[in-house]
Amino acid sequence: MPTGTEVNGNKLPKRTVPNGNNTKKGGKALLRKSKKSKKSRNVKQEDVDMNMYYLNNSGQAMYTFADDEIAEVEEKKKKEREKRIRENKKKEPDDDFDLDTEMVIQMTNKNKIKKEEEQRKIQNKKEIKKKKRNKKIKFFIKLILFIGVTAGGITFALVSPIFNIQEIRVTNNANVPSDTIVSLSGLTTEVNIFKFWSIKAINKIKENPYIQDVKIHRKLPNAIEIEVQEREPKYCIKILESYAYVSNQGYILEISEDGKGLPIMKGIKTPEEELTAGNRLNSEDLNKLEDVIKIMNSAEKQKIGEKVTTIDISNKNDYIIYIDEQKKTIHLGDDSNLSDKMLNAVTIMEKEKEKAGEIFVNGDLNNKFQPYFREQV
């Protein structure tokens, strides 16, 4: 190989060929020189391989480079480059469009998405069932705790002496004494406040005609309050020498020898044997009682309600009221235009104040009827 040739980018040093007897000596000198050149240039052994030298019989020295080894190295590098190219091609995406492949991929993706969706639905159903189950468990636990606490509280309330009745008081009663109401209720002290039925006590108290409504309040820990609503006597019915008190609802409240100054109702149709405390007037008298209430309301508006002593309800078309204080009898007719009729009656009463007689306002005031007074002879 000529001197000055480059091998793998390294330039070989120039060499001289000595002649004669100095061949061996010259060869050794050249070898040392070559080694010094390699050290100075820092040339790697694998890049330039000077494997051997030969001395010919003629005394000439020459270097022979390992061409086969260089070719082998080049071939190896070529294979490595090809390998790297193949690997790079594998990494690069394939830009060629394959319809069949794409359809298969899409179907695969759809199936995968559908499967994932089904799995999510199944998982959601499991979660919902789990939540419902947990909710039911919590509910039953709370229910059991509530029942336990309630049962314990009820047991304590029923057996503890703290809740024994120590006081029974009655409110809003005017006509019936408190002792009578307590006695009717059947309640006694030293009895557990929860060990009696309110409705039973209420019904017993209502057996008294005066009692219209009853409410029983437990005042913890040991008191009972009985709140009553009484019926008021508004009229009376004369029975021989006695009087039967009647409420606005038509109940017979009491039979007494004292009339209490209540207006007396005359001409009732209820049989005398039925006029007992606790009973009620018959339906015909109850209908007339509604008209009597209207008449008394009109009289009270004209300030003469307290002066009415008797109301005759015998004839529904001619109600009559008596005012004994002025010895006047007022014929009202039916229950129409009561306000105007009462106003005219009061006017005549004031005009004929000193005279006894009858006042007639029982005509149709809207049809030119003129109220008039007839003096008693």
| Domain housing 184 | 163-230
Looking at the fold, whether 193 and 327 belong to one and the same domain comes out as no
In the predicted model, is pLDDT for residue 265 greater than 50? yes
Looking at the fold, whether 334 and 271 belong to one and the same domain comes out as yes
In the predicted model, is pLDDT for residue 82 greater than 90? no
Does residue 61 contact residue 30 with C-beta atoms inside 8 Å?
yes
**Average pLDDT estimate for 321-350:** 94
Looking at the fold, whether 176 and 203 belong to one and the same domain comes out as yes
pLDDT at 102: 58
Q: To which residue do tokens 């089904």 refer?
A: 118
Give tens-digit pLDDT for 350-359: 999 889 999 9
pLDDT at 112: 78
In the predicted model, is pLDDT for residue 175 greater than 90? yes
Please state the domain count of the chain: 3
Return the percentage of the chain with pLDDT > 70, whole number: 77
φ/ψ region of 147 (left if φ > 0, alpha if ψ in -120 to 50, else beta) reads: alpha
Looking at the fold, whether 250 and 346 belong to one and the same domain comes out as yes
In the predicted model, is pLDDT for residue 21 greater than 70? no
- Let me know if residue 125 belongs to a domain: no
Q: To which residue do tokens 């298969």 refer?
A: 104
Higher pLDDT pick, 107 / 102? 107
Looking at the fold, whether 59 and 172 belong to one and the same domain comes out as no
**Would you place residue 340 in the very low, low, confident or very high pLDDT band (cuts 50, 70, 90)?**
very high
Domain harbouring 193, CATH code? 3.10.20.310
pLDDT at 228: 97
- Let me know if residue 142 belongs to a domain: no
Neighbours of 57 (CB within 10 A): 6
DSSP string, 173-188: -SSS-HHHHHHHHT--
Q: What is the pTM of this model?
A: 0.60
Return the percentage of the chain with pLDDT > 90, whole number: 54
Domain harbouring 309, CATH code? 3.40.50.11690
Domain boundary among 182, 212, 230: 230
Lowest mean per-residue pLDDT among 12-26, 58-72, 270-284, 327-341: 12-26
**Would you place residue 103 in the very low, low, confident or very high pLDDT band (cuts 50, 70, 90)?**
low
SS (H, E, C) 63-92: ECCCHHHHHHHHHHHHHHHHHHHHHHHHHC
Looking at the fold, whether 217 and 243 belong to one and the same domain comes out as no
**Would you place residue 86 in the very low, low, confident or very high pLDDT band (cuts 50, 70, 90)?**
confident
In the predicted model, is pLDDT for residue 199 greater than 50? yes
Does residue 185 contact residue 201 with C-beta atoms inside 8 Å?
yes
- Let me know if residue 297 belongs to a domain: yes
- Let me know if residue 11 belongs to a domain: yes
Looking at the fold, whether 209 and 273 belong to one and the same domain comes out as no
- Let me know if residue 114 belongs to a domain: no
Neighbours of 102 (CB within 10 A): 10
Q: CA 207, CA 120: separation in Å to the nearest integer?
A: 72
DSSP string, 208-257: STTEEEEEEEEETTTEEEEEEEE--EEEEEEETTEEEEEETT-BEEEEES
pLDDT at 208: 96
pLDDT at 314: 94
Looking at the fold, whether 348 and 237 belong to one and the same domain comes out as yes
Q: What letter represents residue 94's amino acid?
A: D
Pairing of β 328-333 and β 357-360: parallel
In the predicted model, is pLDDT for residue 125 greater than 70? yes
Residue 102, strand partner residues? none
- Let me know if residue 119 belongs to a domain: no
Looking at the fold, whether 285 and 178 belong to one and the same domain comes out as no
Looking at the fold, whether 189 and 224 belong to one and the same domain comes out as yes
**Average pLDDT estimate for 153-179:** 90
Of 6-20, 55-69, 187-201, the range with the highest mean pLDDT is 187-201
Does residue 321 contact residue 299 with C-beta atoms inside 8 Å?
yes
pLDDT at 257: 94
Lowest mean per-residue pLDDT among 64-78, 157-171, 270-284, 333-347: 64-78
Cis upstream peptide for 371 (omega within 30°): no
Q: CA Rg, the chain, in Å?
A: 66
- Let me know if residue 126 belongs to a domain: no
Domain boundary among 183, 213, 230: 230
Q: CA 359, CA 363: separation in Å to the nearest integer?
A: 11
Q: CA 262, CA 322: separation in Å to the nearest integer?
A: 13
Looking at the fold, whether 344 and 246 belong to one and the same domain comes out as yes
Q: CA 332, CA 343: separation in Å to the nearest integer?
A: 11
φ/ψ region of 5 (left if φ > 0, alpha if ψ in -120 to 50, else beta) reads: beta
Looking at the fold, whether 179 and 61 belong to one and the same domain comes out as no
Domain boundary among 87, 107, 123: 87
- Let me know if residue 272 belongs to a domain: yes
Who contacts 244 (Cβ-Cβ below 8 Å, separation ≥6)? 236, 237, 252, 254, 255, 275
